[in-house]
């Protein structure tokens, strides 16, 4: 019994640390990409074989525009969740509706984990 509880706690701690490390890495990589996108675009294209670099450049440009549109959609969805949650909680008289709405929006944008990372799921 005690061993099972300790194993679950250890697994939960490892999952939490993993999630925090992933969020940190996303922010660091994102900061570098935002700081000098042309340099990183060039480096990414240089990873492709010489014969394929023209196509690699086309793909990188297409991926950039696709990711830009996706990110805009995610930000709009996050804003919608935050505003609707805040308004709904405010209408029913919940304290700290704004804080809870902002939290709901942030958690919508940054998912905590997917199904495969949940430590307490039923078999």
User: pLDDT for 69-123, tens place per residue?
Assistant: 888 888 899 999 999 999 999 999 999 999 999 999 888 877 655 555 555 555 4
Q: Which residues contact 74 (CB under 8 A, 6 or more apart)?
A: 109
Measured over the CA atoms of residue 66, residue 106, residue 22 and residue 11, the dihedral's sign is negative
Distance CA 46, CA 66 (A): 21
The mean pLDDT value of the chain amounts to: 79
Distance CA 78, CA 85 (A): 11
| Residue 67, SS3 per DSSP | helix
In degrees and rounded to multiples of 5, residue 38 shows phi and psi of: -65, -40
Position 17 scores a pLDDT of: 79
């Amino acid at each position: 019994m005690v061993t099972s509880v300790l194993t679950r706690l250890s697994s939960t701690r490892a999952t939490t640390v993993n999630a925090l490390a992933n969020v940190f890495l996303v922010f660091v990589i994102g900061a570098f990409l935002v700081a000098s996108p042309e340099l990183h675009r060039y480096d990414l294209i240089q990873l492709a074989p010489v014969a394929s670099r023209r196509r690699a450049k086309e793909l990188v440009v297409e991926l950039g525009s696709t990711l830009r549109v996706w990110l805009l959609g995610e930000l709009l969805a996050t804003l919608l969740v935050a505003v609707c949650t805040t308004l709904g909680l405010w209408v029913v008289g919940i304290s700290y509706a704004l804080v809870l709405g902002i939290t709901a929006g942030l958690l919508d944008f940054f998912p905590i984990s997917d199904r495969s990372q949940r430590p307490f799921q039923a078999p």
